[in-house]
Structure 1
Amino acid sequence: MTGGSSPASLLAMWTDWSVHLAMAPDKQLALAQTARDHWLGWMTYVMQGCPEHPDTLPILPQKTDRRFRDESWEKSPFAALAQGFLLAEDFWDKATTDVPGLDPAHDRAMTFVMRQLLDSVAPSNFVATNPEVLARTVQTGGANLQHGFTRWLRDQQAKRQTTNTARVGTDVATTPGEVVFRNHLIELIQYAPTTDMVYPEPILIVPAWIMKYYILDLSPANSLVRYLTENGFTVFMISWRNPDSGDAALGMQDYLDQGPRAAFDYIAASTGAGKIHTAGYCLGGTLLSMTAAAMARDGDDRLASMTLLAAQTDFSEPGELSLFINESQVSFLEDVMQAQGYLDAEQMMSAFQMMRSNDLIWSQMIRSYLLDDDEIPMNDLMAWNADSTRMPAKMHAEYLRHMFLHNDLAGGRYSVDGHTVSLRDIRVPVFGVGTETDHIAPWKSVFKIHNLCHADVTFTLTNGGHNAGILSEPGHKRRHFHIHTTRDADKTMDPDDWVATATQQEGSWWPEWTAWLAGLSGVPAPAPKITKSLAPAPGTYVMME
């Protein structure tokens, strides 16, 4: 009934906001003045006949707001509706922001909740108040609404708005390779070399287990794995098992032991490599940083470098995902997960969608159910996004508590094997990648690795979001990035100073990363053959529903 949200947490937030607002006469007066100004501005605009010139608008929509971009919204009475809604949004943004005495976490959460509530009642969401929908309805004689309703019924039955028609191993995850190692949690894929000579240091990629691994091996033209093999690297990839209720007791220690540690041991033994490059994506990068810290603590020097792709190690400013992660919410989720043994994909995906509800929820519903636009063809990234996974109860609870609630890893309080680890023990070169519009791992949060390890850090800030920014294959249009290397002795600049110092380049950041890896690698040698195979890539775990 609550959609996975703690009622106690929501009630505490609403109470904190309303009581403090009631005790803040200056804030009330400022809001009354805002309401007056907005009302007078809107009335003047309407009485003038809703002129189309931008200088006459009471308020301009944000650059990222696409709801009212169609020229039909510039005509009366729809222009008046759009302007009234935007003014209401502005008022409630001010009403839920900077309330004296309000807990900062509740301040941010109230602003977020109010934005979600207003998004749901935007005039663009309804037939009678959306000029685009009305025009389409007249044009088709109502067929768009009939078809949209049929599509809605189908989607409700399927419990998803897209159908994954891409075939894993045929359309996506197609880079040739073999599963060379398997335990309960992972299959380790070794990819076939495509060059006669390869660098002696293999690369181990640790993806997040919140989704399937092949985000980094999509279609052949959009595969980071294929790009690495074409540039002379031996690549190993972890493919995580999709857990079920029987895996409820698996924790972060299990993921570390059966994941990166087991992969390290196999790669070192099978290839004879003394050093191994590593790369971790999102949650996989967080796990990789724990592994690197434990290796440094224990004197294990097999790590050649560490790359963090949109991965956080300091969760003091983790972005909107943390707005509702508090003791009440985590305890509530623990109760939910105890009953079913895991956090399912529907619960996770809804949280990510709410952070960009205009783009990921309402605009898609308008296109599919009201405008009856042709369904967007399933591309490789959409296919991956529809192929979701689950999270074991114990692991997810530990992750939320130790990272989001207590920030133990950055604080040097996180334990591996019963003893604490410190990221400051990490001495190997680090390559970090942040993306400009990341709403899951904000780049300024990813940037914090600079002050957490004693290592030279090469950091790249690329345009795009959490996924699209990482999938930046050479030749992709409208790509650019900033890059700068900060030496261990000089790591004092903040993110804004870093941007002013960094060099901006056009194109993909992938060539810069492979050049960085090559500079830390030995002399290329003849490519080894894969001598062991448990199954051809992409393996069996990725097929688990």
Structure 2
Amino acid sequence: MPKKPPARSAKTSRARSPAKAANANVGPAAPVKRAARRPTPETEPPPAEAPIAAPAPAAADAAPLPDFNLLSRNLAQMIGEGGKLLAAYFRPLENGDFGQPGEDVARMAATLGRIAEYYLSDAQRALAAQAALSRQFLDLWASTLRRLQGEAAAPVAAPDPGDKRFDHPEWRDNPYFDFLKQAYVLTTRWAKDLVARADELDPETRQKAQFYLRQLTSALSPSNFVPTNPELLRTTLAESGENLVRGLKMMAEDIAAGRGNLRIRHADASKFTLGVNLAATPGKVVYRNDLMELIQYAPTTETAFKRPLLIVPPWINKFYVLDLNPEKSFIAWAVAQGLTVFVVSWVNPDKRHAKKGFEDYMREGVFAAIEAIEQATGERDVAAIGYCVGGTLLATALGAMAATGDKRISSATLLAAQIDFTDAGDLKVFVDAEQLKAIERKMEKSGGFLEGAHMANAFNMLRPDELIWSYFVNNYLKGKEPMPFDLLVWNADSARMPAANHHFYLRHCYLQNDLAKGRMKIGGRRIDLSKATIPVYELAARDDHIAPARSVFTGAKALGGAVRFVLSGSGHVAGVVNPPGAAKYQHWIGGPPEGDFDAWVAAAQEYPGSWWPDWIAWLAEQAPAKVPARKPGGGKLAPLADAPGEYVRVRV
């Protein structure tokens, strides 16, 4: 078997059983094959549905009959719950705190209208599109007629193998529901093909059209409606409508929680407590300012690497995605490898922070943390990790430090972090000059910050089938509480963003791509990443919808030092939070980020399991010296609070 290249230092009711304990071994794994395969997709949350104390649906071969007395009572309750729902929806109007969903609908209609105009402006093109759909429907109708006559018939338009919306046997066995399913699938594919073939339109319009079409087709799936979903229909009859009563009650609660907007609950958060079974790795807050708390974690080894580690997480979410539980905690695992770990915990901003900009986050976040680490450990030389937008901030800091000759960061790790936003994926749909002005108006109206729900909704729309409609069906139509799941509890624990920072980030990164093009200025100095020559470990995730792997690969080329580029299986979270003990997603190593991304992937070597051991070997090779392990409070900084601190507890 080929030998792995060495690390270089130069240029919702019951949770599933957790993964096995994280592996502390740091040795590299053996490669399994030369060509990179399509990896396992992003870690899927546990099934949204969960067993509850409610009547079970009748067997598939017998239509259940409702209890008509109970049904009549439930209908009356539905009217009552519907009134509560409407009250929750309209209550924000009394305070002038109502959103403007009409703007989003108008943008979607305008974009899809351009696709329609493209075809209707050419009679031959329109006729060909209509004929293609008609032929498929004729084939489907003929197939359905054969099935109704008792004959076997191959499906005309089968759903994708991983599509769980149509798993119930009656979608396959009942000709009526099978027809609905296939009609939906072939119409959806036909519409997607129309957008893909509208090649005379600009790429930006087609990307937006593909995104909006995905939202529309996901919403119109027959699986989302009681009369057209056999499982929902049977459940409703078997429970005499009690499922819908429970669902309306939850919907009213979720609309109230979203202040007039539906905030779909994804997990039962009542089973989790910060510092107990979430973000529970022992440590102390050793420094605090207006923007962040700095946490130093307690050692679990007798000696530690001399060079401390600083982790800069995204401020869009909270840091404890890296400390979900002992089995999945990257922080706890890093401590177990002998690292002195410091983590920035960002403040959940409010009106007081409205003018805190990107540069403030760099100076009061990254630079203030480095200064505090020196006081806590006596070490001026640190290694740093930046995750997601925290990685974008860290890369900017590296450029700013290179411009002034500041050498306090000796190596950097960028996890699913973008530098070049040319291929930034579907999130670019939300960023153009018009929408940026709308966001600025919204932040001004709120008092100088963007509510966390805004970005949470945007992330959910990247995967609408899994993160919106599966929970809509489970919660509001089946009337079932979602399962307790730590990752989704974290995902729902969103954070606000100060107006000044968010404006700078969207305009200078997503809209103008100034960081990659060398046009960004911090403190009056132009940021030139080619002058940042420290070694960098760059991780991209193959199925990342937020920081696409191609975008991360392109951005890595802007750095001036040696880059060890690694591609992880799965997506933005599971590709990063992939402990060795779980033996889940693979990773690929193929040399520095040079040339074409697809060519790099084709030539890369695949290795089983987590990238974590490869990373610690890379880090240890650069600075192998060790010292006695350091305890929080052992230096010049006295502990202020127990981990995970106070800032992380502020919810929106």
Calculate the TM-score normalised by the size of structure 2. 0.79
Contact 2:370/2:380, CA 8 A, preserved across alignment: no
Q: Residues 8 and 84 of structure 1: is their aligned pair in 2 closer, same or farther, counting only changes over 3 Å?
A: closer
Q: Deviations over 1:200-238 (max 9, x none)?
A: 111100000011111111112211111011001011100
Q: Deviations over 1:429-481 (max 9, x none)?
A: 11111222211111111112331112222222222221122111122143222
2:606 to 494, 501, 504: 504
Distance 1:87 1:529 in 2: 62
2:390 to 244, 259, 284: 284
Partner of 1:432: 538
2:139 to 38, 41, 53: 41
Distance 2:167 2:318 in 1: 35
Identity, % of aligned positions:
38
1:149 to 240, 245, 248: 248
Structure 1 counterpart of 2:455, which letter? M
Contact 2:251/2:476, CA 8 A, preserved across alignment: yes
2:180 to 81, 85, 89: 81
Partner of 1:361: 468
Structure 2 counterpart of 1:322, which letter? K
- State which drifts further: 416-425 or 229-238: 416-425
Shift of 1:153: 3.1
The residue correspondences of 1:261-340 to structure 2 (distance < 5 A) are 261-340=367-446
Shift of 1:101: 3.2
- State which drifts further: 118-127 or 407-416: 118-127
Contact 1:239/1:542, CA 8 A, preserved across alignment: yes
Distance 1:445 1:63 in 2: 28
Contact 1:6/1:332, CA 8 A, preserved across alignment: no
Structure 1 counterpart of 2:624, which letter? G
Distance 1:17 1:142 in 2: 41
2:293 to 187, 202, 225: 187
1:27 to 121, 125, 142: 125
The residue correspondences of 1:115-514 to structure 2 (distance < 5 A) are 115-159=214-258, 160=263, 161=265, 162-165=267-270, 166-340=272-446, 341-373=448-480, 375-486=481-592, 491-514=593-616
Find out whether 1:538 has 2:538 as its counterpart.
Answer: no
Distance 1:265 1:53 in 2: 76
* Partner-residue secondary structure (3-state), 1:469: coil
Q: Which runs of 5+ in 2 are unaligned?
A: 1-98
Distance 1:51 1:434 in 2: 53
Distance 2:454 2:348 in 1: 15
Calculate the TM-score normalised by the size of structure 1. 0.94
Distance 2:373 2:244 in 1: 57
Contact 1:436/1:464, CA 8 A, preserved across alignment: yes
Shift of 1:346: 1.7
Contact 2:578/2:584, CA 8 A, preserved across alignment: no
Shift of 1:9: 4.8
* Partner-residue secondary structure (3-state), 1:304: strand
Q: Residues 477 and 152 of structure 1: is their aligned pair in 2 closer, same or farther, counting only changes over 3 Å?
A: farther
* Partner-residue secondary structure (3-state), 1:331: helix
- State which drifts further: 202-211 or 448-457: 448-457
Distance 1:53 1:510 in 2: 55
Could you say which structure has the greater relative contact order, defined with CA pairs below 8 angstroms and 6 or more residues apart? 2
Shift of 1:22: 3.0
Structure 1 counterpart of 2:117, which letter? V
Structure 2 counterpart of 1:142, which letter? G
Partner of 1:109: 208
Distance 2:240 2:116 in 1: 47
The count of aligned residue pairs is: 540
Contact 2:307/2:379, CA 8 A, preserved across alignment: yes
Q: Deviations over 1:371-417 (max 9, x none)?
A: 334x3332221221121110111111111110111000000001111
Partner of 2:92: none
Shift of 1:14: 4.5
Find out whether 1:527 has 2:629 as its counterpart.
Answer: yes
Q: Residues 276 and 399 of structure 1: is their aligned pair in 2 closer, same or farther, counting only changes over 3 Å?
A: same
Contact 1:434/1:443, CA 8 A, preserved across alignment: yes
- State which drifts further: 429-438 or 266-275: 266-275
Q: Residues 368 and 2 of structure 1: is their aligned pair in 2 closer, same or farther, counting only changes over 3 Å?
A: same
- State which drifts further: 400-409 or 43-52: 43-52
1:65 to 156, 163, 169: 163
Contact 1:9/1:329, CA 8 A, preserved across alignment: no
- State which drifts further: 228-237 or 499-508: 499-508
Distance 1:190 1:509 in 2: 24
